[in-house]
Amino acid sequence: MSRKICVVTGSRAEYGLLRWVMDGIREAPDLELQTVATGAHLSPAHGLTYREIEADGFRIDRTVDIQLVSGTAVGIAKSTALGISGFADVLDELQPSVLLVLGDRYETLSAVVAALFARIPVAHLHGGETSEGAFDEAIRHSITKMAHLHFVAAPEYRDRVVQLGEQPDRVFVVGGLGVDSMKRLELLDRPALEQSLGLEFPERSLLVTYHPVTLDSTSSDQMTELLAALEPLDDTLLIFTMPNADTEGSALWGQVEDFGRRHPNVRTFESLGHLRYLSCVHQVDGVVGNSSSGLAEVPSLRRGTVNIGDRQRGRLRASSVIDCEPDRASISAAIERLYSRDFQESLASARNPYGEGGASERIVRTLREYPLQGLVKKSFYDLNVPAVSVGPLVGTSD
C-alpha cells in the first residue's frame, strides 16, 4: 500500500526548496504525492505563484485560502486561525500518511496544528535553525515539538533539535535543500536571463531582498536606511525581489516601489521564481538584504552576501557572508567590502555549511523506509539525565 505524503507550500521561496523532494515523492513507486498550496501562492499581490507549481507539472490537490491580510499583526493572527480551520477540512479529506512541511511560516504552523489534532505524523524540514530577529524562530521550534521526523541541514541543527527533547534516531542530517536546486537546475545564461527579465546587466549589479523584522517595529526605519545606502549607486543595477507578507510587509513594499519610481537603475519583481532567482544570483556581483537564501544558497554560487541586521542572527554562515548593522553607514561599508578585490578573490574558496547536495534523495528514502506505526506517540529525550526510580508520592499508601 502506498504511503500518501502531503506536502504543504505557502510561498515562492518555500516551494523552490521543496520542488525536488516533491519530484522524488512523485517518482517513488510506493509513495503518493499530495500537494496543498496556501498563503502567498494564492495572492495576486504576490504573483499568483501557484502557477509555477503547475508549470513544473505538479497537480495541486487542495488549496487553503487563509484570506491573507498583509502587514498587520492582527491580520496574520487571524490568517493563522483561518489556516487551522482550512487545514482541518483538507487533512480530513486527504487522509495522508505523513504531512511534510518546511521551515517556519505561520501558514505552516496552521497545517501542523491541524495535523496534531488529527493524529497525522509530521515530517519537518530545516528545523533546529535560529533566526533571532523574527517570530519565525518561535514558530520553527514549535513545529519541531509537534513533528515526528526531523530533516535538518547541518549537525549543529541536529543537536538543537535533540536539545528540544526529540529522539536522536528521528533526526536526520540531510543538508540544505537550496543546494539541491543549484545542483539540479540548469541556470539561465546571461542573454536568456536578460530576455526573461526585460533588462540588460551593466558592469555592476546587485540583487536586493529585504523582509520585515517581525520581533520589533523598526522594519520601515531599517528599509529607509538600506535605501539611503543604495541611493548613491546610480551606476549599479539594483534588482529588488519584493518583501514577504509578514507584519509591515506592505509598508516595505510601498517604500521599494517609491524608490524604484525615483531611480531608473532599479527593477522590482513580485516574484522571480526559483530558477530566475538563482540565475540572477549567478549573474550579479552579490546579494544584499536579510533573506535566508543569502546564507543557505548564495555561497554555493560563489557570490557574496551583505546580511543586514538581526533577522538571520544565529544561522550558520559561510565566509562569503558580510554581517552589518541596519544603518546606512554600516550597509555602505559592507557593500564597499563586497566589491573589494580581496573579498572577491576569497569567494573561490568559500564553503557552504549547508552541504554539497543530495538532501532530497535522503529525505525521500527515509519517507519510504521509516516505520510509521506508533510514530505519533513521542517520548521526551532528556539530555544527560539518568533514569531514576520514583517511589510513591507523599501521602499515598502502597
pLDDT, one tens digit per residue, over 182-238 is 888 899 999 999 999 999 999 999 999 998 876 666 788 999 999 999 999 999 999
391 has a pLDDT exceeding 50: no
Which of 233, 293, 296 minimizes the C-alpha distance to 266? 233
Which of 249, 327, 239, 226 minimizes the C-alpha distance to 73? 249
Q: What are phi and psi of 325, to 5 degrees?
A: -75, 160
Contacts of 24 (CB under 8 A, 6+ apart): 360, 361, 363, 364
- Return the pLDDT at 76: 83
Give the residue-averaged pLDDT of 247-270: 89
With bands split at pLDDT 50, 70 and 90, how would you rate the model's confidence at 103? confident
Beta bridge partners, 207, equal 239, 287
- Return the pLDDT at 46: 60
40 has a pLDDT exceeding 90: no
* Cβ neighbour number for residue 58 with a 10 Å cutoff: 21
User: Which CA distances in Å does 6 have to 48, 217, 309?
Assistant: 21, 36, 35
363 has a pLDDT exceeding 70: yes
Residue 298 grid coordinates: 548564495
- Return the pLDDT at 370: 97
Which range has the worst mean pLDDT, 26-30, 46-50, 54-58, 194-198? 46-50
Which of 246, 194, 308, 253 minimizes the C-alpha distance to 13? 246
77 has a pLDDT exceeding 70: yes
- Return the pLDDT at 395: 43
DSSP code of 194? H
Helix or strand or coil: residue 227?
Answer: helix
Beta bridge partners, 173, equal 152
Residue 217 exposure: Cα atoms within 13 Å on the Cβ side = 2
- Return the pLDDT at 283: 97
Give the residue-averaged pLDDT of 357-368: 96
- Return the pLDDT at 245: 66
Residues above pLDDT 90, as percent of the chain: 69
Q: Which residue has the higher pLDDT, 194 or 312?
A: 194
Give the residue-averaged pLDDT of 89-118: 96
If you average pLDDT over every residue of the chain, what do you get?
89
- Return the pLDDT at 52: 84
Q: Which domains does the chain have, with CATH numbers?
A: 3-174+358-369 (3.40.50.2000), 185-349 (3.40.50.2000)
With bands split at pLDDT 50, 70 and 90, how would you rate the model's confidence at 385? low
With bands split at pLDDT 50, 70 and 90, how would you rate the model's confidence at 47? low
